[in-house]
């Protein structure tokens, strides 16, 4: 797997911020990097694989890839996107004032520990147009590098982050912080995915009715409780397929699935490819 480094992407080594538009972004192998990447989909569609999970992409989607997270793209179709690369620690962005804005929490904090949570927001067309204009201003400053460009570029980046955080306020997944009991339940699933996990067990652990649990879960994770369990299991299976030579049936059972055929169907649905093809492609990327 490739790991991308800051030294290859920032024209000014002392100022870790870059922005460009890729008008025909193709498929891209799974990789990681030592910087954050804020992505805005302007046109087209594709499938995003991040930390072992697959999500369909279309115009208006915005998502953040944190440093050292693994991700890649499949089945891209005329996809145009904006990439903003930055190192938040070195830039020292003053984001403390956004901590209570629901959209900021959803984009930058929600699912930091929970790998199966949907990691993107979707902007309506008018907001997408305005966000693209803000990106163009940022890109212009970085390309011209006129006196004071660092200050101006940070101004545009902070303006974009504020706009996205506010614009995401109407996204149902961004409207509230997951309650503590739900946060604990997410961690329970991630630690016990090999166990038998039923909706009844989750209801008892959460102390909620089945309907309330489903509503809370969908608001925080963008999916049902059982779908979340499946996605956590598939994420583990994807990691095992990449790193071990275990048979696919063994991977299925080790990941909490009791039926290898059911596992194969769920893996294909979420990852976009069958387990065997996923392993083969991973081996080809790493040269094994």
> Tens digits of per-residue pLDDT, 3-36?
788 888 998 889 999 999 999 999 998 888 889 9
- Note whether 259 and 133 are same-domain residues: no
Q: State the pLDDT at residue 275.
A: 92
Provide the pLDDT confidence category of residue 102 given band limits of 50, 70 and 90.
low
- pLDDT, position 54: 76
Residue-level pLDDT at 111: 42
**CATH label of the domain that carries residue 236:** 1.10.10.60
CA 65/CA 69 separation, integer angstroms? 6
Say whether both 232 and 93 belong to one domain.
Answer: no
Which pTM value belongs to this model?
Answer: 0.63
Last residue of a domain, one of 140, 174, 208: 174
Percent share of the chain, pLDDT over 70: 83
What is the mean pLDDT of the segment spanning 98-116?
Answer: 60
Q: Tell me whether residue 243 is exposed, middle or buried, using C-beta atoms within 10 angstroms of its C-beta: 0 to 12, 13 to 18, 19 or more.
A: exposed
Same domain, 146 and 235: no
Distance between CA atoms of 176 and 167, rounded to whole angstroms? 15
CA separation for the pair 171, 168 (Å, rounded): 5
Residue 220 has pLDDT above 70, yes or no: no
Q: Do 24 and 132 belong together in one domain?
A: yes
């Amino acid at each position: 797997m490739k790991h991308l480094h800051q030294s290859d992407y920032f024209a000014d080594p002392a100022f870790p911020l870059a922005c460009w538009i890729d008008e025909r972004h193709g498929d891209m192998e799974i990789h990681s990097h030592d910087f954050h990447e804020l992505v805005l989909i302007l046109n087209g569609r594709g499938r995003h694989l991040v930390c072992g999970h697959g999500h369909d992409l279309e115009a208006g989607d915005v998502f953040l890839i944190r440093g050292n997270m693994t991700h890649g793209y499949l089945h891209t179709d005329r996809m145009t996107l904006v990439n903003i690369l930055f190192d938040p620690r070195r830039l020292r962005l003053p984001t403390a004032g956004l901590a209570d804005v629901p959209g900021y929490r959803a984009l930058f904090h929600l699912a930091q520990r929970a790998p199966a949570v949907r990691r993107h927001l979707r902007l309506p067309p008018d907001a997408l147009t305005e966000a693209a204009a803000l990106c163009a201003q940022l890109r212009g400053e970085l390309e011209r590098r006129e006196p004071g460009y660092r200050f101006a570029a940070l101004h545009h980046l902070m303006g974009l982050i504020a706009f996205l955080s506010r614009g995401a306020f109407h996204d149902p997944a961004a409207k509230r912080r997951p309650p503590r009991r739900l946060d604990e339940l997410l961690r329970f699933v991630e630690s016990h995915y090999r166990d038998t996990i039923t909706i009844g067990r989750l209801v008892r652990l959460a102390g909620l009715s089945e309907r309330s649990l489903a509503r809370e879960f969908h608001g925080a994770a963008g999916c049902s409780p059982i779908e979340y369990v499946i996605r956590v299991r598939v994420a583990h299976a994807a990691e095992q397929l990449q790193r071990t030579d275990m048979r696919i049936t063994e991977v299925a059972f080790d990941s909490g699935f009791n039926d290898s055929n059911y596992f194969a169907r769920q893996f294909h649905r979420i990852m976009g490819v069958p387990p065997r093809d996923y392993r083969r492609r991973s081996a080809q990327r790493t040269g094994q």
